[in-house]
Structure formats: C-alpha cells, structure tokens
C-alpha cells in the first residue's frame, strides 16, 4: 500500500511530469513536489511524486555499504592469513 518507486524526471509541464522508471516512461502528478526539474530522482506513489530523492545522500549510503563490504572482505583475508600463520609449516610468512 505504501509502495513508492524511484524514477527520474524526464520532462516537467506545470504540475504534470514524465518520469523514467528504468527505461519505461510514465506520467506522474508533481503537485506534492513543486520544485523538481528534469534529471531529479523522485519517489512515485499511486501516480504522484511524493518526494525528491537526495542523490548525494543515496551515494553516501552506498559508499558506506561498499566500505563495510570491503572491510569484511579484508577481515576475511586477515583471518585466512592468521589461519595460515597458525600452520607451523608456514613459518614467518609476513
């Protein structure tokens, strides 16, 4: 019921706009987001754009997720290394 789908504004004409959803263009009412321009991301719920998405915030969140995944991968490598170090045959590998 509260499903809203992100899309990118293609055109604005008064309170109506055309929004691109992954290659599919669809009309949306822009009454609730008076300041949007082509190129902006919006959340669309039941034919209405309900909010302009903050692209910089989205990139920041994704950057954080990327760093977490990278840290986990490094941790994994480190524990692999220490497991190897535990092997007496391995000697002083680092």
Partner 1 sequence: MTGGIDFAAFRSEPAANALVGRITSLLKRAGGTPENPIALMEVCGTHTVAISRYGLRTMLPPGLRLLSGPGCPVCVTPLIEIDRSIAAATVPDVIVATFGDMMRVPGSHRSLESVRADGADVRIVYSPMDALETARRNPKKLVVFLGVGFETTSPIIAATLVAAAREGISNFTVLPFFKTVPAALDMLAAVPGRPLDGFICPGHVSVIIGSDAYLPVARDRNIPCVVTGFEPLDILAGIVMLLEQIVAIREATGSAGVAVQYSRAVTPEGNTTAQGLMDDVFAVYDAEWRGIGVVPATGQTLSKKYEMFDATKRLKIDVPEPEGERGCICGEIMLGRNLPPDCPHFGAACTPRSPVGPCMVSTEGSCAAFYKYEQSWRSEGPDGTEAE
The residues binding partner 1 (CB under 8 A) are: 1-4, 6, 8, 29, 31-34, 38-39, 41, 43, 45-48, 50-51, 53-55, 57-62, 64-66, 68-69, 71-73
The C-alpha atoms of residue 44 and residue 86 are separated, in whole angstroms, by: 55
CB of 81 to partner 1, least distance (A): 18
* CB-count exposure of residue 42 (10 Å: 0-12, 13-18, 19+): buried
The C-alpha atoms of residue 40 and residue 44 are separated, in whole angstroms, by: 12
Q: Which is nearer to partner 1, 79 or 93 (CB)?
A: 79
CB of 16 to partner 1, least distance (A): 10
The C-alpha atoms of residue 56 and residue 28 are separated, in whole angstroms, by: 23
CB of 10 to partner 1, least distance (A): 9
């Amino acid at each position: 019921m509260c499903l809203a789908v992100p899309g990118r504004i293609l055109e604005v004409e008064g309170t109506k706009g055309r929004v691109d959803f992954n290659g599919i263009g669809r009309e949306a009412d822009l009454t609730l987001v008076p300041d949007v321009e082509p190129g902006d991301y919006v959340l669309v719920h039941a034919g209405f754009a309900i909010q302009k998405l903050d692209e910089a915030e989205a990139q920041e969140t994704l950057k954080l997720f990327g760093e977490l995944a990278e840290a986990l991968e490094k941790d994994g490598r480190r524990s692999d290394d220490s497991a190897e170090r535990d092997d007496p045959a391995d000697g002083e590998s680092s």
